[in-house]
Amino acid sequence: MVKKRGNSDANDANFDDKRRGRPPKAALAPASFATATATAVKPEPTAEKATLVLDYPLEGEILTSHSYCIRLTALQPRSVEICLDGKRWLSCRESVGHWWYDWSGFRSGGYTITARMTDKNGKVSKTKDRQFTVLI
């Protein structure tokens, strides 16, 4: 039987570390001596956030239902409205962080939707026209 000197567990661990190419545990600095270096990173420029987004229907989407909830996201609006095929503006309702228009009574065909928002200062923002199709 071979007798080992010192702390056999530590020696065995250091031997295993040397075989794996790691420094021995005794060579590692205690956590109290560890230092961290931080480098300030300049954030990348980002595009200005839109204040009104037409979430659904998507561009080119095909709807196959007799009713549909149109969803919009608006930041600090006073009012949100949609317009279908250039006709009158229709008021949306707010619920669970989004704006909605419950649409029904439509026919099959192609449609264009636009949304607009009036903010608390009276400024009006509009989305681009979006095309979608209904097949029922």
For every residue of 54-111, DSSP letters joined together read EEESPTT-EE-SSEEEEEEEESSEEEEEEEETT--EEE-EEETTEEEEEEES--SEEE
Residues contacting 25, CB < 8 A, separation 6+: 10, 13, 14, 17
- Please report whether residue 25 resides in a domain: no
Over the range 56-78, which residues count as b (16 or more CB within 10 Å of their CB) and which as e? bbeeeeebeeeebebbbbbeebe
Mean pLDDT over 92-110 rounds to 97
Residue 123 has pLDDT above 60, yes or no: yes
Beta bridge partners, 90, equal 82
H or E segment to which residue 9 belongs: helix 8-19
Residue 37 has pLDDT above 80, yes or no: no
- Please report whether residue 1 resides in a domain: no
Range scoring the smallest mean pLDDT among 15-24, 26-35, 66-75: 26-35
Q: Report the CATH number that the domain containing residue 86 is assigned in CATH.
A: 2.60.40.10
Please give the share of the chain, as a percent, with pLDDT higher than 70. 63
Q: Beta 52-56 vs 67-74: how paired, if at all? A: antiparallel
Give the pLDDT confidence of 50-89 residue by residue, as tens digits.
Answer: 589 999 999 999 999 999 999 999 998 999 999 999 999 9
Record the pTM.
Answer: 0.63
Full residue range of the structural domain in which residue 106 is found: 52-134
H or E segment to which residue 26 belongs: none
Count how many domains the chain has: 1
Residue with the larger pLDDT of the pair 126 and 9: 126
The mean pLDDT value of the chain amounts to 79
- Please report whether residue 5 resides in a domain: no
pLDDT at 51: 87
- Please report whether residue 21 resides in a domain: no
